Every structure is written in structure tokens, then in C-alpha cells.
């Protein structure tokens, strides 16, 4: 009888050992089809392409003034709920792409080709994340609503020079801080 109990215990232990540890944390990306985590940090080569484009385009900015700060310094995506962050970043990327594409149409050469390609790729991944979120979830309000409204109204109210300057001065914050925050999910602080 003791032999039977030993066999039962050994079998139970082996079954439990095969099951593996139970995760004690929630994954940072909880939506199917959303794999933004790979953008936690861009390669030095990608960042260099953005730096070259930014430097070249900043020299062409002339006579710009803004009625308000499009991207205030105290704006921080970590202040938003995890589900709101991709929505806010996607709207920021949409405006950034719109402005940079207009600048690319006017500029000589392909200085913006690689940065625009990368930004379009990031935005398409973000759109998958935003679309993958549950539609029955809460609607934008509070800070998110305010930020989305500000970005939406900017293209109507601000001059093209203001939009260009704001987007260029915010570009590395978008690429390093905001994108990293969204890619980090609930680990962004």
C-alpha cells in the first residue's frame, strides 16, 4: 500500500512540475494583434536618420510663432491609463506624419524618406493596438479627451510654420519617451 502512495505522490509531483510556474504578472500588451513592445528602443541607425532630417529641417524654419504649446512640457503619457496611451500616441503620430509629409513634399532630396517610412510602420502597429482594444471600453475623457482635442484642433488653428516647429521640436520626445512608454505597457511610470 505504501508503494502505491509513493507512486501517486511522484506522479502528482511530475504533473505539477510539467505545468510550469504560474505567471504572477499581467503581460504588458493585453490585446491580440498588438505587438508594440518591439519599439521600446529604436536602433542607433534609425535615430540617426531622424536626427539628420530634424537638423536639416530645423534650419529651414523661418518666422514661426504659435498661439499655444501644441506639445506642452508637462504632458506625460504615463499620466494616462494604459489603454489610453496607444490612442494618444496614435493621434500624435497622425499629426506628426501629416506635417512631415507636407514638409517632404516641399523639400529637395529624400531626407525624410527613411523617417517617414519608420513613422508609418510604427503608426500601423499602433493602429492595430488601438483597433484591438475592446470597443465596449470607456470613451476618451479627461486628460485623453483634452489631448486628442488639442491635436485635432491644432491643424485648424495653428499656422503651418507653428505645426512644423512643434512637430520637429517634439520628434525625439515622441520617439524616445512616448513610444517607449506605450511599448512598456503597464510598466511605464
Q: Is residue 104 part of a domain?
A: yes
Q: Is residue 48 part of a domain?
A: no
Q: Is residue 96 part of a domain?
A: yes
Q: What is the pLDDT of residues 73-114, one digit of tens each?
A: 778 899 999 889 999 999 999 999 999 999 888 876 688 999
Q: Is residue 75 part of a domain?
A: no
In the chain, DSSP assigns E strands to none
Q: What is the CATH number of the domain that holds 163?
A: 1.20.1250.60
Q: Which residue has the cell 494583434?
A: 33
User: For the chain, how many structural domains are there in total?
Assistant: 1
Q: Is residue 43 part of a domain?
A: no
Q: Which residue has the cell 488601438?
A: 130
Threshold 0.85, pTM exceeds: no
Q: Is residue 80 part of a domain?
A: no
pLDDT exceeds cutoff 80 at 33 = no
Domain boundaries, position 151: 86-132+142-188
Contact 104/116 with Cβ under 8 angstroms? yes
Amino acid at each position: 500500500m505504501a508503494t502505491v502512495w509513493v507512486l501517486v505522490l511522484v506522479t502528482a509531483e511530475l504533473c505539477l512540475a510539467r505545468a510550469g510556474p504560474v505567471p504572477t504578472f499581467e503581460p504588458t500588451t493585453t490585446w491580440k494583434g498588438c505587438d508594440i513592445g518591439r519599439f521600446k528602443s529604436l536602433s542607433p541607425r534609425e535615430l540617426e536618420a531622424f536626427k539628420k532630417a530634424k537638423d536639416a529641417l530645423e534650419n529651414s524654419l523661418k518666422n514661426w510663432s504659435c498661439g499655444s504649446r501644441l506639445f506642452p512640457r508637462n504632458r506625460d503619457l504615463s499620466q494616462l491609463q494604459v489603454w489610453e496611451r496607444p490612442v494618444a500616441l496614435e493621434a500624435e503620430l497622425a499629426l506628426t506624419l501629416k506635417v512631415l509629409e507636407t514638409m517632404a513634399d516641399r523639400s529637395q532630396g529624400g531626407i525624410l524618406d527613411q523617417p517617414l517610412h519608420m513613422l508609418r510602420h510604427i503608426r500601423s502597429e499602433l493602429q492595430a493596438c488601438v483597433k484591438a482594444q475592446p470597443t465596449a471600453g470607456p470613451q476618451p475623457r479627461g486628460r485623453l479627451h483634452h489631448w486628442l482635442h488639442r491635436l485635432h484642433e491644432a491643424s485648424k488653428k495653428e499656422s503651418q510654420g507653428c505645426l512644423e516647429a512643434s512637430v520637429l521640436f517634439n520628434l525625439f520626445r515622441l520617439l524616445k519617451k512616448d513610444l517607449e512608454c506605450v511599448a512598456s505597457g503597464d510598466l511605464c511610470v
